[in-house]
Amino acid sequence: MIDSKNMVEGVLVDDAPTKFQAFRTKTKRSFLNMIAEPNLYPMLFELGYTEREIDNFMFKRVARALVGFSVVGVVMYYYNPGLIILAVLIGFLLWKNYYTIVSKNYRNFIFARELDFWRLIRMLLPFLASDKSIYTILDEQSKILANTGLVSDKTYNHGSVEAHLKRLMADVYFEPGNVFNFISFAEACSNSDRAVLILSAIHDKAEYSEDASVVFELGEIATNELFKQVNEVTKHKLKKLNSAPPVIALSIIILVIGFAAGFITTILSQMAGVF
């Protein structure tokens, strides 16, 4: 059923963020949720998966670990029963591997979302001085985000800043003047107090005030936060460069081994010729 609250100007808004809020307050946990790591389900929710999808992942994860364990276990049982410990190890590694992948993706996602968020806020702040409505300003910024959005991976679409921004626009459209919409947007997109501060200041400027000087003070904070993220980007890109020198230096061994191998084979063939 399509809820009218999820429609903005005839466009359906993704309600994954709301589902995430509903999940947070839920107390009863499923069996798969209980055997998973405590922060696995929340992480996948924030990445934008529904509970059913996550249960599916978990089911596959359990199956993979069990299959790995039993195949290696059967082989080892006939080969050497003492080595069944190897099967346990492989099953455990298969089980753990999934969590490692998810948490790495989650870290990357959080980083990308933080960058997107502060870029959005930095670009948004100057326009608060104009007499446009807050809805128009948000709409324009969402178009920019859609054009140059950084989280382009399909799997991240639900939890991205763009999705949360659409949610915020829907909320602003249907219940204008509610500061908690802005605060929950800030909480969903960034975990810092500064985000909440800035978003509530933006709301206050848009609703009550003609003077934008407070917001421009906050612009300084937004710039600093943005460049913190930008520093992370440059660090990440420099790290890519740093992987080259060790490869070049260590691969000299290949040349030396090649020479040694050639030398030995030449000497052996000469000896074969002599005898």
Partner 1 sequence: MSSRGGSNRRTIEELNAHALSYVAPVTKTQMTRLVLGLGLGVGALMYLLTFRTWLAAIGFIIGVVVAFREVLPNYVDRIVANKAYVERNRFMNIMTQILTSPTKNFNDCLSDTMERLSQGTVLHDDLKLLLADIGDRGSLTHFLDFATKYGELEGDEAFSQYMEQLGVAFEAGLINLSTLKNLTSIHNDNQIVTDDFIRTKKAHLKDVSVIMGIACFIPVMLLMSMGYDVYIEAFAHNPLANAFSFAWLGLNGWTMIKYTRAYYDDNIMEVSL
Label residue 29 exposed, middle or buried (CB < 10 Å: 0-12, 13-18, 19+).
Answer: exposed
- Pick between residue 108 and residue 178 the one whose CB is nearest to partner 1: 108
Query: Which residue from 138, 149, 145, 163 is spatially nearest to 46, judged by alpha carbons?
Result: 163
Report the nearest approach of partner 1 to the CB of residue 225 (Å). 13
The only residue of 4, 25, 27, 147 in contact with partner 1, by rule CB under 8 A: 147
Residues 6+ apart with CB under 8 A from 167: 13, 14, 15, 17, 18, 185, 188
Site string for partner 1, 194-223 (x = CB under 8 A): ------------------x---x--x---x
Considering the rule CB under 8 A, would residue 258 count as an interface residue with partner 1? yes
Site for partner 1 in 120-139 (CB under 8 A): 122-123, 125-127, 129-130
Nearer to partner 1, 28 or 143 (CB): 143
Give CA separation, 135 vs 128, 131, 140, 210, 239, in Å: 11, 12, 9, 17, 40
Contact indicator for 162, 135 with CB cutoff of 8 Å: no
Rule CB under 8 A: is residue 103 a binding residue for partner 1? no
Return the number of the residue (27 or 147) whose C-beta is nearest partner 1: 147
| Smaller CB separation from partner 1, 160 or 181 | 160
What is the distance of C-alpha 155 from the center of its chain? Answer: 9
Residue 43 found at the interface with partner 1 (CB under 8 A): no
> Which stretch in 37-45, 48-56, 82-90, 225-233 sits in contact with partner 1 by CB under 8 A?
225-233
